[in-house]
């Protein structure tokens, strides 16, 4: 049921695929499903983004609402690789409970682990995240852990058995873009598991700059959902993610603080 479902049209032909937890993905863009004005716009935006992996949250069914429908009524699970999250959890215990519920839905063992330590910044509680990651990895979960842009925590999460480490670009929903590219590069340099930058991207240039750091992928939600035209922004993000990746692979020219002419300096007329 949706396990490993990779949509062939996501292939761009310009960049190789990569693996997370043994599953192959072509698109390096992972998108959320929250905060869209309508489900129709959400589905259109996600399709246009080319994303294969999409995040979903676990919540109580509202029994007081008639015809209460979960996200899977709108998003065909066979078309996407579902990545359940533990958003909203602020303790390791809660995150583990949500993780187990998510896995019981029967799609896959992957989990976006997120344990929030502060309500105003939504910064992660890295101690609780690490504690939950150890338990869940031991239970066979393929944990993709949302974390700070902190190298030591990233290394500990890798040691704990996470299949991907997901440092933030900037706080969730802030749209501030990449505030610490140096630390993100350092995390990518030092880890063996994929590094996915999760949260903080605001517009296409942010996605491009993020991918230019050499990370394996990028996860975003609000940047699409809160755009005036989410579908158009999804297309922009698709191209920006590919462009940033290709620029990284191509290797940028050195930056100089002086001008260097592009045209020959000899052969000028008298």
Partner 1 sequence: MSTTKTVAVRLNGKDREVDTGHTVLTLLAELDLQPGMVVVELNRDILERERYADTEVHDGDSLELVHFVGGG
Which are the catalytic amino acids?
A: 112
Tell me how far CA of residue 17 lies from CA of 47, 242, 245, in angstroms: 19, 12, 12
Taking residues 28 to 47 in sequence order and writing x for each that binds partner 1 by CB under 8 A, - otherwise, the string is ----xxxxx-----x-----
Q: Which stretch binds partner 1 (CB under 8 A): 59-67, 132-140, 179-187, 238-246?
A: 59-67
Helix (H, G, I), strand (E, B) or coil at 82: strand
Query: Is residue 129 a contact point for partner 1 (CB under 8 A)?
Result: no
Contact 82, 46 (CB under 8 A): no
Cα–Cα distance measured from residue 153 to residue 146, given in angstroms and rounded to the nearest whole number:
11
- For the bound state, the minimum distance from the C-beta of residue 43 to partner 1, rounded and expressed in Å, comes to 11
DSSP code, position 252: P
Count CB neighbours of 111 within 10 A.
29
Footprint on residues 172-201 left by partner 1 (CB under 8 A) = 172, 199
Could you tell me which of 73, 74, 24 has the C-alpha nearest to residue 52?
A: 24
Our CB check for partner 1 shows the closer of 57 and 235 to be: 57
Tell me how far CA of residue 224 lies from CA of 25, 146, 176, 221, in angstroms: 21, 19, 14, 6
Q: Which stretch binds partner 1 (CB under 8 A): 136-144, 160-168, 214-222, 232-240?
A: 214-222
Total residues binding partner 1 (CB under 8 A): 36
Taking residues 62 to 101 in sequence order and writing x for each that binds partner 1 by CB under 8 A, - otherwise, the string is xx------xxxx--------x-xx-x---------x--xx
Our CB check for partner 1 shows the closer of 84 and 209 to be: 84
Contact 167, 210 (CB under 8 A): no
DSSP code, position 196: E
Q: Which residues bind partner 1 (CB under 8 A)?
A: 32-36, 42, 55-63, 70-73, 82, 84-85, 87, 97, 100-102, 104-106, 172, 199, 219-222
């Amino acid at each position: 049921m949706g396990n490993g479902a990779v949509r062939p049209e996501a292939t761009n032909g310009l960049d190789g695929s990569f693996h997370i937890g043994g599953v192959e993905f072509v698109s390096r863009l992972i998108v959320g499903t929250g905060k869209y004005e309508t489900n129709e716009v959400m589905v259109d935006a996600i399709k246009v983004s080319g994303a294969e992996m999409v995040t979903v949250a676990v919540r109580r069914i509202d029994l007081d609402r008639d015809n209460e429908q979960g996200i899977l009524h709108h998003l065909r699970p066979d078309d996407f690789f579902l990545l359940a999250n533990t958003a909203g959890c602020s303790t390791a215990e809660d995150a583990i409970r949500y993780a187990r519920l998510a896995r019981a839905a029967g799609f896959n063992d992957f989990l976006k682990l997120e344990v929030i330590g502060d309500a105003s910044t939504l910064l992660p509680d890295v101690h609780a995240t690490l504690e939950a990651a150890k338990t869940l990895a031991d239970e066979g979960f393929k944990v993709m852990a949302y974390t700070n842009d902190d190298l030591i925590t990233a290394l500990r999460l890798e040691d704990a058995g996470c299949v991907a480490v997901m440092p933030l670009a900037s706080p969730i929903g802030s749209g501030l873009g990449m505030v610490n590219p140096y630390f993100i590069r350092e995390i990518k340099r030092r880890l063996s598991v994929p590094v996915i930058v999760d949260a903080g991207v605001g517009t296409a240039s942010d996605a491009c700059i993020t991918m230019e750091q050499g990370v394996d992928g990028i996860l975003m939600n609000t940047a699409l959902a809160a755009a005036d035209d989410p579908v158009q922004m999804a297309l922009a993000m698709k191209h920006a993610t590919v462009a940033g990746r290709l620029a990284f692979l191509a290797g940028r020219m050195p930056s100089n603080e002086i001008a260097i002419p592009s045209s020959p300096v000899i052969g000028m007329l008298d």
